[in-house]
Amino acid sequence: MSRNSISRFLACSLQRAGAALILPFVFAASVANAQEAIRPSLAGEAAAEARRQSIDRIPYNLLVGPVRFRFSATAGLEYNDNVNIAEIDEQEDFIFRPQVNFNAMWPITQLNTLRFDIGLGYAFYFNHSEYNTNGVLLAPGSQLSFDVFVGDFRINFHDRFSLEQDPIGEVGEPGLGDVADYGRFQNTAGVSVLWDLNKAVATFGYDHYTFIATNDDFEYLDRNADSLMASLSVAVTSTTGVGLETAYVFNRYEQDLLNDSDTFSVGAFIETQVTQYVKVRVAGGYQTISFDGDDVALGPFPSNFFNNPANIPTGAGVDGNFLVFQDEGELNDFYANILISHRISAAFTHRLSAGHESQLGVNSNYIQLNYVRHTATWNILNKTLLSTELFYEDAEESGGFLNLGRGEELRRYGGALSLGYQLTRHVTLGARYQYTQKDSDVELRDYRQNRVSIDGTYSF
């Protein structure tokens, strides 16, 4: 990035960051003057006491002074008929997944709570040992979190981290294909603040995100991102709130294959408790992403690589020792999402979400995604918990490495069925089946995957 580009970026960043942080307080000031008590504060001592009572109900194995510790260990066995998510030459395998979990909670004072959660695991492949975990895996949800209540403010300092290699995992990356080890370390550290103004609630925060690939094939994705967010929600009735939300993200890569970018979004939302059992949240707005370039690079290649014209795909250019593919340098689009939570009875609850969003791509500058997801929990048998998941995604890349620089259009869908049974006070048994299918307009990018697993967890 040139000196002039940096200057322009810093000026633009300061303007957008300032707007993101100041906007909620401008609205909050106008609302706060005429507010009246309508509910307990979300950030006051009553909220802190409710949080403390909730902590007291969390089970623990060991109590050392005020600090509560919980230990558990899980052993799981999985059969996967396509570990490398490939269209041809699928690789099937049995995978042994041991994991230990550690949770600690320290109510330092009535208003301050420190929490630490971590899961350490390993993946051992019976037939393809080259995919065995390098070191240990850190389970999603691992975190260090510190809550502070000060007057009308609730402040949370956090560091959330994970180390995974499954290319599908809990959510997965739609742009991936023909890969078994998508090893990546992710860390999000920052602070969020909730300011309770009674009829209005303002939130704002800052996060620093780090992505480090543990597989050399994906080192070009190594990056850091800084994000600012702010929102304001105003209670228009006792069951409905409306508000504004905004965010700014600056993303920078360690290598020059993909382009640095800055993202700005602004929109509105409404949250309402339709009935005692149905809650709905709808949000939408404008999103723009500006990239440093309108092409992406692949390489470097040895200089003699380009002596053979057959090595240069149609639609690709050459820049030094790199192949260059056309991409989009800017996105101007909308975002929208809806979340419906429905509690039908004590035995059955479900959630439906749908939306349109854009995110950074693996093979391109960005990928646009439409999605529908449904989850349900069935607690119909004693000591048994049944859950189901369904999802559908329709996505399109902006250009990049695939399809001669035109990007990939894909559909991905599937579901899962999970069963948990409390065998004893300390032992929980589980079973899960998961199916995922991807249909792509790029040759050899389709795949189907079936996974069956069983596990047992012992809580000490």
> Model confidence over 107-136: pLDDT tens digits?
888 778 899 999 999 999 999 999 999 889
Cα 219 from chain centroid? 20
If DSSP codes are grouped into helix, strand and coil, which group holds residue 356? Answer: strand
- How many CA atoms, within 13 angstroms, populate the side-chain half-sphere of residue 293? 17
**Same-domain pairing of 235 and 205:** yes
Q: What is the DSSP letter of 259?
A: P
pTM of the predicted protein model: 0.85
Would you place residue 437 in the very low, low, confident or very high pLDDT band (cuts 50, 70, 90)? very high
**Same-domain pairing of 314 and 216:** no
**Residue 162 belongs to domain with CATH number:** 2.40.160
User: Cα(265)–Cα(285) distance, rounded to whole angstroms?
Assistant: 7
* β-bridge partners, 93: 80
**Same-domain pairing of 313 and 217:** no
**Same-domain pairing of 261 and 309:** no
Number of domains in the chain: 2
**Same-domain pairing of 367 and 408:** yes
**Same-domain pairing of 374 and 305:** no
**Same-domain pairing of 318 and 206:** no
**Same-domain pairing of 201 and 174:** yes
**Same-domain pairing of 272 and 406:** yes
What is the pLDDT at residue 41?
Answer: 60
Would you place residue 23 in the very low, low, confident or very high pLDDT band (cuts 50, 70, 90)? very low
**Same-domain pairing of 351 and 234:** yes
Residue 314 tokens, joined: 């149609």
Q: Which of 140, 63, 72 is nearest to 101 (CA)?
A: 72
Cα angle for residues 320, 325, 329 (degrees, 5° grid): 110
**Same-domain pairing of 127 and 103:** yes
User: Cα(253)–Cα(282) distance, rounded to whole angstroms?
Assistant: 33
**Same-domain pairing of 283 and 302:** no
What is the pLDDT at residue 34?
Answer: 37
Q: What is the mean pLDDT of residues 257-262?
A: 96
What residue numbers bound the domain in which 309 lies? 297-323
